Structure 1
Amino acid sequence: METSRLIQIIEMGAARNLMDYVQAFQLWAPKSAAAAMPCAGGLAAYTGPDSPLTTVKGAGPDLQESEIEAAELFFRRNHARQVVFECAPWLTDDSVERLKRRGYTVAGTEVVVAAKLPCGVEAPGHTPIELMQDDWARVFQAAFELPAEAICPLLAQVAWRLPGSVKLGVADADGSVMGCAQMAPAGEIAVLGNDGTLPEARGKGVQTALIRERLRLAMKAGFRWAVAEVAERSQSEKNYLRCGFERVYVRTSWIHA
């Protein structure tokens, strides 16, 4: 498959996954005043002023001035602190110029990795278990070392409620959960995310076991692709590549305060 076509499939899945989060916020956290609108072929989402999911995902390669203006108006009306476009590397030179001219700067990147299914999967080094809500929230917050305030507990709750998602963990010999991870459907894509390992359990193969189990479940469910977003040159990237994923592209975050 051509890379441009795969990028399109993944970006469509990213927008769909973001919409699922918005709807989960609307249903389970109505005070967040979550909202969304179509934007440049993707989705602009507001899930709270401090939420990492207040962003645009899935935008196409040619961002028009009117589309950027519409997104800015949407975020301003919803009292967002900034406007964020998370864009694939297919942005045209004209699109980049429009963003720069309006004051956008690059604030970060993430690597998008994917595995075409079916694929070979080694047996997990640990036995995965499905996490109940209380365990999920506790491990999620501790693994990412999040403060018990602001948006953080709400994100854990909403992630648990994501429609069709599977929430997994692995436990040590004493039954203590060492890490968590999630798989969520987005069309033909299984989105693998929310990978977190408790600080004291890192280096023990927890994430690798959870990647392998989610690949197994994704194949059983008939997905064509498994996709994840990781920090460049991170241990997570190494673990995913070790499990058969390949780097597809780097997504760039353009931010305007």
Structure 2
Amino acid sequence: MMSTVPVGLAEQTEIRAYVDFMTGAPVPVRESLGINSLTVGPASALAVREDASGFFTRAGGFDARENVTEDVVDQVSDFYRRQGVSQGAFMIAPSLLPPDWASTAAKWKLTEGGRHAKLWCEADLAAKSAGALLALDPGLSVGLVEPHQAHEWATVMMTTFGFGTPGMIDTAASCVGRPNWRQYAVWEGERIIAVGSVFLNGRCADMFGGATLPEGRGRGAQSALLAARARAARAAGCRWLVAETGAERPGSHNTSLHNMIRIGFEPLYERATWLWHA
């Protein structure tokens, strides 16, 4: 019988992936990018001063053990301020927002930003379903990334998402081979055209950073990467997989969302991003 992943575990797996991804970079890279993190009860906050997009500056991992109080918001906001970032985010599952959240958000001038769909699946189901649907185009192959391929892999990932500065690419490359991570790629000949990671967090794993170059899209690459990552999570003893992607709005279509649903992922909830501004 399937059992839904606990909300707190789903949120903590996500933020731990982001924190480990960034803070595991070599010291000179962390210093040049202004990378730092903070633990607040069960939650974590991450700040990356030189990330102009603000994408990586976020707080998450809140769960039912501790309310998201004004004191918690104050601690995270003070952390953002001390790190010198202009914008940061609070990622809080809707079921964990306290009754007085509207007044708390107003007091700290938090504004509602984009929305993300949070998805989950049993690791065993995803591994089996993805394998059955696997249909890579001829000439493409999928496999685990080796250390000597780390820079090419990281370049594809970070430039596809718009984070192409050398420091950000070096940060991603340093993640390859780290104990709680598995990095995969799809090759066309000897060239990487698509990438994806999975972060292992005990019973739960996070599908992280799936990206495909324009010329590789529509050729089965992301489905192959989902299958490889699901199998890796199952082999590592994970029970659940979680993922997050942009929520669809009327008239929009998110291919990544539909690829995941196709192999058995189900929507868990839609989560708003609450933005803090300096």
Which of 224, 241, 255 does residue 226 from structure 1 map onto?
241
Of 177, 198, 217 in structure 2, the residue corresponding to residue 183 of structure 1 is 198
- Looking at structure 2, the residues matched to 104 and 221 of structure 1 have their Cα atoms a distance apart, in angstroms, of 39
Q: Aligned partner of 2:69: which letter?
A: Q
* Distance in 2 separating the partners of 1:35 and 1:26: 12
Structure 1 position 228, deviation (Å)? 1.1
Q: 1:256 is paired with a residue of what secondary structure?
A: strand
AA in 2 matched with 1:247: P
Gaps of 5+ in 2: 249-253
How far apart are the structure 2 equivalents of 1:196 and 1:136?
10
Segments of structure 1 that go 5 or more residues without pairing to the other structure are: none
Give the deviation of 1:107 after TM superposition: 0.9
Greater Cα shift, 231-240 or 31-40: 31-40
Change (3 A) 1:220 1:191: same
Give, as a single letter, the amino acid of the residue that structure 1 aligns with 2:30. P
Q: Which residue of 1 aligns with 2:12?
A: 12
Corresponding residue for 1:58?
Answer: 61
Distance in 2 between residues matched to 1:229 and 1:136, nearest whole Å: 21
1:143 matched to 2:160: yes
Cα distance in 1 for partners of 2:10, 2:47 equals: 21
CA distance in 1, matches of 2:193, 2:214: 9
Counterpart among 223, 233, 236 of residue 208 in structure 1: 223
How far residue 209 of structure 1 moved from its aligned partner, in angstroms, is 0.9
Contact 2:23 2:30 in 1 (8 A): no
Shift in alpha-carbon separation, 1:35–1:88, aligned structure 2, 3 A: same
- Partner AA of 2:124 in structure 1: P
Q: Does 1:130 align with 2:150?
A: no
Distance 1:99 1:218, change over 3 A: same
1:157 paired residue among 166, 173, 182 = 173
1:71-110 to 2 correspondences below 5 Å: 71-90=76-95, 91-110=97-116
Aligned partner letter, 1:134: H
* Residue 199, structure 1, aligned to residue 207, structure 2: no
What are the Cα deviations for residues 214-254 of structure 1, in whole angstroms up to 9, with x where unaligned? 11121122111111111123100000000111111122210
- RMSD after superposition: 2.4
CA drift at 1:208? 0.7
Bigger mean CA deviation after superposition, 12-21 or 198-207: 12-21
Post-superposition offset of 1:89: 0.8
Quick one: structure 1 residues 224 and 72, their matched pair in 2 at CA, closer, same or farther if it must change by over 3 Å?
Answer: same
Query: 1:43 maps to which residue?
Result: 44
Mapping of residues 163-174 of structure 1, within 5 Å: 163-172=179-188, 174=189
Partner of 1:181, secondary structure, is strand
Deviations 1:19-51 (A, max 9, x none): 323430364623134222222531111233425
Higher mean alpha-carbon deviation, 124-133 vs 79-88, is at 124-133
Aligned residue pairs total: 254
> 2 CA distance for matches of 1:118 and 1:168?
19
How far the C-alpha of 1:88 sits from its partner, in A, is 0.7
- State the match for 1:235 in structure 2: 255
Please give the TM-score of this superposition, normalised by the length of structure 2.
Answer: 0.82
Q: Find the partner of 2:264 among 231, 244, 254.
A: 244
Displacement of 1:10 = 0.5
The residue type equivalent to 1:168 in the other structure is Y
Aligned residue identity for 1:129: G
Letter in 1 for 2:236: A
Asked if the contact 1:22–1:46 (Cα under 8 Å) also holds between the matched residues in 2, the reply is no
Stretch of structure 1 that moved more, 217-226 or 135-144: 135-144
**TM score, norm. by length of structure 1:** 0.88
Is the 8 Å Cα contact of residues 106 and 255 (structure 1) preserved in structure 2?
yes
* Residues 20 and 163 in structure 1, CA contact (< 8 A), matched pair in contact too: no
